[in-house]
Structure 1
């Protein structure tokens, strides 16, 4: 399977980038500065919950 990563639309120009990849049953998330490091994989519902928490400012910085 070929995984196609794409940069998040809200990533910053100075290197603070998040990349996403659609997998058959999950969404993968990685740091674009360290693409060979492990990535986070979430099921679609968990990814939706994560995005909601980010948008609401509910996650610690």
Structure 2
């Protein structure tokens, strides 16, 4: 399991992005500007659906 926070390779480096990681069988997402703020957690099925949806809309 990789619990390191990662930014998208498409992030422009302007500080306006999210970070994601896999931890405890969930995908977690946070605001990169607020590293101690809230974290959204998704179960694997919800995360896969989210990723599939944004790929279709992109």
| TM-score of the pair, normalised by structure 1 | 0.75
Partner Cα distance (2:57, 2:37) in 1: 26
Deviation sequence 1:1-34 (CA, Å, 0-9, x none): xx42111222222112211111121010011011
Partner Cα distance (1:8, 1:45) in 2: 20
Root mean square deviation of aligned Cα: 1.7
| TM-score of the pair, normalised by structure 2 | 0.78
Tell me whether 1:44 sits opposite 2:44 in the alignment.
yes
In structure 2, the partner of 1:16 is 16
**Structure 2: tracts of 5 or more residues without a match:** none
SS at 1:56 equivalent: helix
Partner Cα distance (1:57, 1:16) in 2: 20
Partner Cα distance (2:10, 2:45) in 1: 21
Give structure 1 regions of 4+ aligned residues with deviation exceeding 6 angstroms.
none
Residue-pair matches, total: 56
